[in-house]
Amino acid sequence: MATSDINRNVTEMEALREAIILAGGLGTRLRAAVPDLPKCMAPVAGQPFCFMW
């Protein structure tokens, strides 16, 4: 495996870890704004938050 492949895989894993941390929790503060959606799907600038990455 080339060094560039390893670096890309590490970067992808870091991004995934960040997304998991951001999506964790119950979303109690957002419940009033988006009661029928998980917080990672709350709209931000017209798109679900998880699509912003």
Residues 3-40: tens digit of each pLDDT:
666 666 667 767 666 656 666 678 888 888 889 988 88
Domain residues for 10?
Answer: 3-52
- pLDDT value at position 40? 80
pTM: 0.46
Q: If we measure between CA atoms, which residue out of 26, 47, 43, 24 comes closest to residue 34?
A: 43
CB neighbourhood size of 25 (10 A): 10
* Count of structural domains, the chain: 1
- pLDDT value at position 50? 78
Question: Tokens 């799907």, residue?
Answer: 41
- pLDDT value at position 22? 60
C-alpha 23/C-alpha 44 separation (Å) is 14
